Amino acid sequence: MILIDSDIIIWILRGDRNIKEQMEEFIKDINEKLFITPIQITEIYAGLKEKERIDTSLFLETLPCLEINDHVGKLAGEYLNLYRKSCGLTLADAMIAACTKIYNLKLWTLNKKHYPMLGKNDFMSAVG
pTM of the model: 0.90
Residue boundaries of the structural domains of the chain: 2-122
103: how many CB neighbours lie within 10 A of its CB? Answer: 15
Instruction: Convert the pLDDT of each residue in 44-103 to its tens digit.
Output: 999 999 999 999 999 999 999 999 999 999 999 999 999 999 999 999 999 999 999 999
H/E stretch holding 107: strand 106-108
CB 100 within 8 A of CB 122: yes
pLDDT above 60 for 32: yes
- CATH fold for the domain made of 2-122: Rossmann fold (3.40.50)
